[in-house]
């Protein structure tokens, strides 16, 4: 009887590990597709994949679900500006905060939270833009201490400079972000999304 239970336990563990590996692979493949997304439907598909992923690192699934919702909101802001966007921005923020809860002091998550906060101001969903700008600056400062030569951080700096009426700094940071995106290593483990932000 004990042998039977042991065998069943091993089979169940093996199938769980196999399913986990499949989910991690699906997550990684979907991450690569983030830079190729071009439509609302593409972002919805990616969001569904990330939010339903049974990854061994839940924070990554939350992070990329937040990224896909942030990018979707950005896409809709550019292409259909009359669409209500506050709910999408809020969802992105909640997911990014969930990721931050699991992975404290992560520069990429701080950058994403800063970008989401700036987006909240841009889509006029902020009830206190000055306070939200300070919040975004706080996220940027934390990320700046953790990341070097990061195009998303440079883009965040450009957005903050623009909202702070520092046009020269905004232009310099946009150029820096463009150069960093062009030099990004597509094969690295570092997040690679966001090039569509500067186009």
Ramachandran quadrant class, 150 (left: phi over 0; alpha: psi -120 to 50; beta: rest): beta
Share of the chain above pLDDT 70, in %: 85
Positive or negative, the Cα torsion across 199, 63, 123, 175?
Answer: negative
User: With 50 as the cut, is the pLDDT of residue 168 above it?
Assistant: yes
With a CB cutoff of 8 Å and minimum separation 6, the contacts of 113 are: 93, 96, 97, 100, 139
Q: What is the mean pLDDT of the chain?
A: 86
* CB-based contact 119:88 (threshold 8 Å): no
Q: How far apart are CA 50 and CA 44, in angstroms?
A: 10
* CB-based contact 65:48 (threshold 8 Å): no
Domain ranges of the chain: 21-197
pTM: 0.86
Q: How far apart are CA 23 and CA 30, in angstroms?
A: 10
Q: pLDDT band at residue 34, thresholds of 50, 70 and 90? A: confident
Based on C-alpha coordinates, what's the Rg of the chain?
19
* CB-based contact 155:180 (threshold 8 Å): no
Q: pLDDT band at residue 1, thresholds of 50, 70 and 90? A: low
Chain center to CA of 55: 16
Q: pLDDT band at residue 104, thresholds of 50, 70 and 90? A: confident
Which tops the pLDDT comparison, 78 or 3? Answer: 78
Enter the CATH code of domain 21-197. 1.25.40.10
Quick: pLDDT tens for 2-30. 554 444 443 444 333 333 443 667 778 88
| Owner of token pair 């590996």 | 21
Q: pLDDT band at residue 52, thresholds of 50, 70 and 90? A: confident
Alpha helices in the chain (DSSP H): 2-33, 40-51, 58-79, 86-102, 107-122, 129-146, 151-163, 167-183
């Amino acid at each position: 009887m004990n042998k039977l239970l042991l065998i069943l336990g091993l089979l169940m563990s093996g199938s769980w590990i196999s399913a986990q590996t499949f989910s991690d692979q699906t997550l990684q493949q979907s991450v690569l597709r983030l830079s190729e997304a071009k439509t609302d439907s593409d972002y919805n598909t990616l969001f569904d994949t990330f939010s339903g992923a049974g990854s061994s690192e839940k924070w990554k699934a939350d992070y990329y679900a937040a990224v896909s919702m942030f990018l979707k909101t950005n896409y809709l802001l550019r292409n259909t500006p009359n669409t209500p966007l506050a709910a999408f921005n809020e969802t992105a923020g909640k997911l990014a905060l969930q990721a931050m809860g699991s992975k404290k002091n992560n520069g990429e998550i701080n950058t994403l939270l800063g970008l989401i906060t700036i987006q909240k101001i841009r889509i006029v969903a902020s009830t206190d833009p000055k306070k939200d700008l300070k919040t975004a600056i706080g996220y940027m400062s934390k990320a700046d201490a953790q990341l070097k030569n990061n195009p998303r951080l440079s883009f965040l700096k450009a957005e903050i400079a623009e909202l702070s009426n520092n046009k020269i700094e905004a232009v310099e940071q946009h150029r820096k972000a463009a150069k960093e995106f062009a030099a990004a290593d597509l094969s690295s483990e570092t997040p690679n999304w966001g090039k569509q932000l500067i186009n």
